[in-house]
Amino acid sequence: MGNNHRVVALVDDDERILESLANLFESAGFTTRPYQSASLFLQAGLSGVDCLVTDLSMPGIDGFELCKRVKHTRPHFPVFLVSGRHEADDVARMSCGATKFFRKPFDSQRLLMAVENIFFDK
């Protein structure tokens, strides 16, 4: 089951997390596009990207704001939020329309399965 035509954009200001996420998705056959800030991702745009995995707490544009902006242009675009902030919960997740919310430290297999599910549910 190759995911090589599936592109996952990754946004996190922590380079180590960005790297581990890229390794996780690439080992499952996805193509990744890592960005160290939401503004870099927004500059690059959504074309050719199938879904977004983003951190919540970032300088400048945070994950909530990024999610809102993405959903504004592409309402059905899958966005996965990852956060170490525990006050962030499903209420906040629903307010920006994210597909799913994961707390750090997250179970990488659960995250991977959640992303894979959006492609196989269709």
State how far the Cα of 74 lies from the Cα of 69, in Å rounded to an integer: 9
Query: pLDDT at residue 87 above 70?
Result: no
CATH fold label, 7-120: Rossmann fold (3.40.50)
Query: pLDDT at residue 1 above 90?
Result: no
Q: Are strands 31-35 and 51-55 parallel, antiparallel or unpaired?
A: unpaired
What local confidence, expressed as pLDDT, does residue 13 receive? 95
pLDDT in tens, 24-81: 999 999 999 999 999 999 999 999 999 999 998 899 999 999 999 999 999 999 999 9
pLDDT in tens, 13-22: 999 999 999 9
Q: Where are the domains of the chain?
A: 7-120
The neighbouring-strand residues paired with 82 are 55, 102
What local confidence, expressed as pLDDT, does residue 21 receive? 96
